[in-house]
Chain A
């Protein structure tokens, strides 16, 4: 039973990071109807920005997290302006392939700058804590608390502010929002910056918990993100949080009882199964309409 709770604990920490990454992915989809394959690169960019900036503020974890978020926001903004808006009106799959190209470019630029080998932060991982039946490091606890805080902030932002109202309007119907006087283009840009910031922050958290990382960090996490997003339902930010929880826990528990090497294999099989039976998310009643995005 102890093993079970330890793996649930680690699963919760994974799920926390996964939920941030998935919420960012789904926000981009909500406003632009784009499945951004370069989303993983936001995480990588965030992680490397924090890596470059870690010495700047005397090993302050919070400062490094802010740097990661800022770098992610900048990446989101640039991607939106330079690519997504340029491809507006093109078919979803065309934009998808273009973002695939972006992922290739960013990953290899990072290889050129930082090298392909693993790097790691010099922050201390902290001690192990027994909390109830769980076993967490200080980093795990920081990750979970900050993920909850960020998720709460996003909720408030979307539900309680004018910006959130505009985001929801744009995601329902961009043209209608535009004629109602909402500056749709600016809202979309801001949403991408927000999504980039959340993803950059998630990337830093991910790199921090894993310990070592390389330019493929984000790409390998992308499929997990997509699995979590699909489990929740594409374009539905709150359901995505639930999807991330399910996927994070399932993987960790399955990995603990077989072999942790196979975790990602399970994730991809889970993705295929989800696509087959619940392409609109596990929280939606099985729809009779086939998914033809």
Chain B
């Protein structure tokens, strides 16, 4: 049962990574708000299904809706929040400015949820969604967990098919052109903001779905489940797999989650220092991010260049974003001052 649970979790995170990859891999926006969407989706699923809060516990809404309906509503709430954040952050801000703005937004949300208890009961969080539908489906506990695993993988497969299709569609190609050179894309009449905005909403919707699945999977949710560091693991997974390549991203998640996190669970963790293991794991994840960025920014499975149908294949383009491959040439001579040579002549 342990491995069922591990694979379910990895499958959920794979869907999340696919969503994030649309925002970061295709549209090129480094979004730090993303885990907040998962959190909101999860919280909303809880408060829509677990009914009125018992005494001494507070949270909003408190309805008794069927789980599937509440998932739809939760995703709608997430997309609504993303619509606000995206409209603010994507309009004029790019790169670091975008990243910092989304970080500000997610930190404000995090603190608000943690401090303001009437929202989602602050630090205690919400809980009580235990295996919804188990009795109705007449399943044993183990059967239910295996069923959940199957559902997650079916959803992952559907998400993959959808994204693979989107990736080759005009929309996917437009997003990549915007990522590579926003001005050139705008000059060719591509609606830059609207393209990025739609990608953002789509990614957030997937994050909302993951939040719902997460709610069913862990049956409790509180602020310690969505600290900023969780998102970095997803970014690390995308970096390892290959930014912009859906198949690579899914593989990256499985490599990072199962290969890496499960293996480092066996790190020595002396009883006197219970935080040693988790801290060491974070250190290794940080190292992995830096090393991947430095030595293989395109990931293990690089994004494949789009093919022109009908004409002769164009000469092979460098893997990954142009900015990165251009800099690879510069890195060849790191000891000189590369900018100086041109001006000196």
Contact = CB atoms under 8 A, between A and B. Distances in A.
Interface stretch (B10-18, B46-54, B90-98): B90-98
Contact of B324 (A91, A96, A103): A91
B273 interface: yes
A62 to B, nearest CB: 32
Interface in A250-293: 261-262, 264-265, 268-269, 271-272, 275-276, 279, 290-293
B294 interface: yes
Interface in A106-146: 107-109, 111-112, 115-116
A65 interface: no
Contacts of A97: 30, 235, 289, 293
Nearest to B108: A268
A204 to B, nearest CB: 23
A268 B283 contact: no
B91 to A, nearest CB: 8
Interface in B264-316: 273, 275-276, 279-280, 282-283, 285-290, 293-294, 297
Given A104-B232, A116-B275, A178 B286 contact: no
A185 B340 CA distance: 12
B339 A93 contact: no
A290 B98 CA distance: 12
A45 interface: no
Given A35-B100, A265-B108, A279-B93, A272 B88 contact: yes
Nearest to B289: A101
Given A265-B111, A275-B93, A275-B97, A115 B275 contact: yes
Give the secondary structure class of A's interface: helix
Contacts of B294: 86-87, 98
Interface residues of A, number: 54
B108 A291 contact: no
A79 B106 CA distance: 27
A293 B293 CA distance: 19
A262 B323 CA distance: 40
Nearest to B341: A175
Which of B88, B96, B276, B323 is the most central at the interface, judged by chain A CB atoms within 10 Å of its CB? Answer: B96
Interface string B225-249: 0000100100100000000000000
Interface string A73-113: 00000000001011111111110111011111101110110
A223 interface: yes
Give the secondary structure class of B's interface: helix
Contact of B96 (A93, A185, A223): A93
Contacts of B327: 89-91
A88 B332 CA distance: 11
B133 interface: no
Contacts of A276: 88, 101
Contact of B95 (A83, A103, A107, A293): A293
B334 A85 contact: yes
Interface string B73-97: 0000000000000001100111111
A176 interface: yes
B165 interface: no
B289 A100 contact: yes
Contacts of A103: 286
Contacts of B96: 35, 92-93, 96, 293
B55 interface: no
A178 B235 CA distance: 36
A174 interface: yes
Contacts of B324: 90-91, 94
A275 B343 contact: no
B342 interface: yes
A183 to B, nearest CB: 10
A112 B276 contact: yes
Contact of A100 (B95, B232, B287): B232
Contacts of A262: 111, 115
A179 to B, nearest CB: 5
A102 B290 contact: yes
Given A223-B103, A272-B104, A178 B339 contact: yes
B338 interface: yes
B290 A98 contact: yes
B297 A94 contact: yes
B39 to A, nearest CB: 16
A184 B31 CA distance: 33
Contact of B101 (A91, A109, A271): A271
Contact of A268 (B105, B235, B276): B105
A112 B272 CA distance: 12
Contact of B99 (A89, A96, A112): A96
Contacts of A108: 279-280, 282-283, 286
A90 B342 CA distance: 18
A175 B101 contact: no
Contacts of A261: 115
Contact of B273 (A115, A223, A292): A115
Interface of B: 30, 88-89, 92-97, 99-101, 103-105, 107-108, 111-112, 115, 182, 229, 232, 235, 273, 275-276, 279-280, 282-283, 285-290, 293-294, 297, 323-324, 327, 330-331, 334, 337-340, 342-344
20 contacts: A88-B334, A89-B330, A89-B338, A92-B95, A93-B99, A98-B289, A98-B294, A100-B289, A105-B283, A112-B276, A176-B343, A178-B337, A226-B100, A262-B111, A264-B111, A265-B115, A271-B100, A271-B104, A275-B97, A276-B88
Given A101-B290, A261-B115, A291-B93, 5 more contacts: A35-B96, A90-B323, A90-B331, A91-B95, A291-B92
The 3 closest A-B pairs by CB, nearest first: A175-B339, A104-B286, A101-B289
